[in-house]
Amino acid sequence: MKNSGERIFLNRIIVILITMILITSGIMMYVNRLLDYKVDSMKPNYHFYFIGQNKVDPFWQEVMIGVKEGASEYDVMVEYNAPRFTNIEEQLKYIDIAVLSNVDGIITHAFNNEDYREVINRAQEKGIPVILVENDLPNSNIDAFVGANSFQLGEKAANLMIKGTGGIADIAVIEGGGYEENSSANDNKVNGFISSLKDNNFMNIIETKSSKLGILSAEEITENILKNNENVDAIYTTNSIDTMGAAQAIIDNNKVGKVKLVGYGDTEEIKRLIEQGVVYGTIIGNPKQIGLKSIETLVQVKQGKSVSTFIDTGFRIIK
């Protein structure tokens, strides 16, 4: 009887142990499935690379805010890089890195330069879609352009300049492209501006300069223009940094009200300069929308959806 009771007790213990082992195994399997699901859900859908024109212009900082919002909305990972100041060689290097890294897609700014077409072709040959933002590149193998029509933006800036000067002016153009002087063919904002004024005998573009190092460069360029050419009574700039630099030189040379400045951007500083009459007015795209739409468009391309080759994010006139 004693042995029988012990045997029954041991059998119960064994059953309990087996049951506990099975329950523990089931819990572990469930936990592992949850962990696997969590890891999978943390994996981004795509890995994109975004290359901006520079890091200092508030416009590009706003674009990046839109990019981050788009990345969160569409669950993608985006690497971001840009030269500190506009620099073609450095920008092309970052695009090359993106191509060599075999990312899922590239969003970048480009100038009207054959080197950009070549690196874009290399990306497409590897099956990497390319979206351009802010400045379109004609005859390039891109999937879409996201931004305002830069040529039309230049035309609007010319109209604003005509209003500001009464239709009679000797104009200096400062292009923020980081190129050598007289390189206006590289920037559609300049092309549109010049095209709109070419048949106007009273609106004369007498100088074109190119900034290279940011606000100090634009300020120095404007200083030289005002000192060396007394006929200049109007200046057109194509980015926020140059607009602020030119404005500072106008202030320093006591030319407020005498030299009309039409620029680009809508920072709080630029708005203040407009209120003070230092800047006559500016044209600005929608940088945050550009960033968001560039991510949205690239995701659609990756999903095999049909997208427009031109996603127009529009622009505004601030005066």
Residue 165's alpha-carbon distances to 137, 245, 264, 271, 279, in angstroms, are: 32, 21, 17, 20, 12
**pLDDT at residue number 181:** 42
Across 9-30, average pLDDT: 64
pLDDT tens digits for 259-285? Answer: 999 999 989 999 999 999 999 999 998
Homologous superfamily of the 47-148+289-313 domain (CATH): Response regulator (3.40.50.2300)
Mean pLDDT over 124-153 rounds to 93
Residues above pLDDT 90, as percent of the chain: 67
**Which of the two residues, 44 and 184, has the higher pLDDT score?**
44
Mean pLDDT of the chain: 87
**Residue predicted with more confidence, 297 or 30:** 297
pLDDT at 182: 38
**In the predicted model, what is the mean pLDDT of residues 277-297?**
96
In this structure, what DSSP letter does residue 256 have? B
Q: State the Cα–Cα distance between residues 139 and 298, nearest whole angstrom.
A: 20
pLDDT at 184 over 90: no
In the CATH scheme, what is the code of domain 150-285?
3.40.50.2300
* First vs last C-alpha separation in the chain: 104
Q: What's this model's pTM, rounded to 2 decimal places?
A: 0.77
* Predicted confidence band of residue 243 (pLDDT cuts 50, 70, 90): very high
pLDDT digits (tens, 9 = 90+) for 2-17: 556 666 666 666 666 6
pLDDT at position 87: 86
Q: 57-96 pLDDT, tens per residue?
A: 889 999 999 999 999 999 999 999 999 888 889 999 999 9
43: confidence class by pLDDT, cuts 50, 70, 90: confident
The span from the CA of 65 to the CA of 294, in Å, is 12
> Helix or strand or coil: residue 171?
strand
Cα 91 to Cα 115: distance, rounded to the nearest angstrom: 11
Of 57-71, 160-174, 203-217, 285-299, least confident by mean pLDDT is: 203-217
Q: Lowest-pLDDT range, 1-15, 90-104, 200-214?
A: 1-15
Band (pLDDT 50/70/90 cuts) for residue 40 is very low
Residue-level pLDDT at 141: 94
**Rg of the chain in Å (alpha carbons):** 29
Q: What's the pLDDT score for residue 25?
A: 59
Q: Sorting pLDDT into bands at 50, 70 and 90, what band is 128?
A: very high
Give 3-state DSSP helix, strand, coil % of the chain, rounded to 5: 50, 20, 30
Predicted pLDDT of residue 41? 42
pLDDT band (50, 70, 90) for residue 34: very low
Same fold, 47-148+289-313 and 150-285: yes
* Residue 59: burial class (beta carbons within 10 Å; 0-12, 13-18, 19+): buried
Tell me the three state secondary structure of residue 230: coil
Would you kindly state where each structural domain of the chain is located, as residue ranges?
A: 47-148+289-313, 150-285
